[in-house]
Amino acid sequence: MSPPLLQLGVLLSSMAIISNWMSQTLPALVELNTTRLWTPDALTQVSPKEGWQVYSSAQDPDGRCICTVVAPEQNLCSRDAKSRQLRQLLEKVQNMSQSIEVLNLRTQRDFQYVLKMETQMKGLKAKFRQIEDDRKTLMTKHFQDLKEKMDELLPLIPVLEQYKTDARLITQFKEEIRNLSAVLTGIQEELGAYDYEELHLRVLSLETRLRDCMKKLTCGKLMKITGPITVKTSGTRFGAWMTDPLASERNNRVWYMDSYTNNKIVREYKSMADFVSGAESRTYNLPFKWAGTNHVVYNGSLYFNKYQSNIVIKYSFDLGRVLAQRSLEYAGFQNVYPYTWGGFSDIDLMADEIGLWAVYATNQNAGNIVISQLNPDTLEVVKSWNTGYPKRSAGESFMICGTLYVTNSHLTGAKVYYSYSTKTSSYEYTDIPFHNQYFHISMLDYNARDRALYAWNNGHQVLFNVTLFHIIKTEDDT
């Protein structure tokens, strides 16, 4: 392969990966990476026949990030057509360069603020050390107040360090855009010397790498919860509603299960709009009553806790029958270890980016929360983790990327207070508030496809947006 073409492949790959990082990671550091629900972004539909199309990032109607390079269809085009396509690509790169320039100005402004903030924090730390050495001369109350403020600021120092690194990456990205423009100009001048077909294959390879890059952005640490958005007001004070996180983009069915006991009827709606308008498409009469409100739909099947038992049921909507059922060994049921609001919420079934989970408590773990990953086909327990958080003290809980997040209440003032990572088998206490608009939450579950929390809030079906902090690791980091 000739050197200019090799440079093009390398720069295209670098440009796409850094652009994807820039659109996802950098906004998260300044709390701009909030999931948007039901916002119809205007995405231009482009046919591959129109030429090379380069996008740094976009969002689909469901709020998911899209990074794409669309290559033209293979054809026996003339040299003039190839030249025109390369000119179009050059124009796209130049437009991106201008956008990067605008972003760089904003980043430099924010970076100066970060440097100022970092200096203030380090000065406060030095001052605090000086005061601590002479704390006997200060009143105990004032000393304790200052110490608490310092403890709140300390976690920000590594975030600021990461931000400085990110600012340097944007500067590098600007330089690579300039280099890419020069390479494209050279290719235009020497078009006959290059293999157009090979260039096409490299762009297809780049698209695969972009998809791999997106997988790295799938998971992150919960930083913020905003909302809620009230979708509908219906049913009793207690219930559950959900969509399937593994459904295709065209499948937007909604399932609705009112009450926490004495019910076997599941209502299905073809879309969120039908759910809001009340246009049911189908109802299912389950063979068993359910217990609680902590059900989940996963890959076309409903998973729920059978009433008056610790048995988990897998029910296929397509087949209309039970595919599997299994008892969770030692799991409490029938309000032995419920959440703070009761309602037979002993066993909570949930799903995230990693798979299917059950959250419950046992006598063997002194009534504290147990997390079990389940095989979605057989319902066998793959692995379990014993936590030290009392199940009866938890308002609700949900899983994101293998980490369990627990709220401290189901009433007004509730917040995410505790988290447990199954990856590291470690826990930490958190302080992530959210607005309990209707004062009583009886269901709170994360949907990995929508990047949102579905909640049943005192007879209101609501959605919360979540902000996740992403750290992208390259192959050199592993």
From 60-74, 109-123, 299-313, 383-397, the region with the lowest mean pLDDT: 60-74
Is residue 444 scored above 50 in pLDDT? yes
Q: What is the pLDDT of residues 157-175, one digit of tens each?
A: 665 666 666 666 667 666 7
Predicted local distance difference test score (pLDDT) of residue 5: 42
Is residue 266 scored above 90 in pLDDT? yes
What HEC string does the chain produce?
Answer: CCHHHHHHHHHHHHHHHHHHHHHHHHHHHCCCCECCCCCCCCCCCCCHHHCCEECCCEECCCCCEECCEECCCCCCCCHHHHHHHHHHHHHHHHHHHHHHHHHHHHHHHHHHHHHHHHHHHHHHHHHHHHHHHCHHHCCHHHHHHHHHHHHHHCCHHHHHHHHHHHHHHHHHHHHHHHHHHHHHHHHHHCHHHCCHHHHHHHHHHHHHHHHHHHHHCCCCEEEEEEEEEEEEECCCCCEEEECCCCCCCCCCCEEEEECCCCCCEEEEECCHHHHHHCCCCEEEECCCCECCCCCEEECCEEEEEECCCCEEEEEECCCCEEEEEEECCCECCCCCCCECCECCCCCEEEECCCCEEEEEEECCCCCEEEEEEECCCCCCEEEEEEEEEEHHHCCCEEEECCEEEEECCCCCCCEEEEEEECCCCEEEEEEEECCCCCCCEEEEEEECCCCEEEEEECCEEEEEEEEEECCCCCHHHC
The pTM score is 0.59
Mean pLDDT across 410-422: 94
User: Using 50, 70 and 90 to split pLDDT, how confident is the model at 126?
Assistant: confident
Predicted local distance difference test score (pLDDT) of residue 17: 47
User: Using 50, 70 and 90 to split pLDDT, how confident is the model at 155?
Assistant: low
Percentage of residues in the chain with pLDDT exceeding 70?
57
More confident residue, 409 or 141: 409
Mean pLDDT across 2-25: 45
Q: What is the pLDDT of residues 306-325, one digit of tens each?
A: 999 999 999 999 999 999 99
Mean pLDDT across 92-107: 67
Predicted local distance difference test score (pLDDT) of residue 236: 96
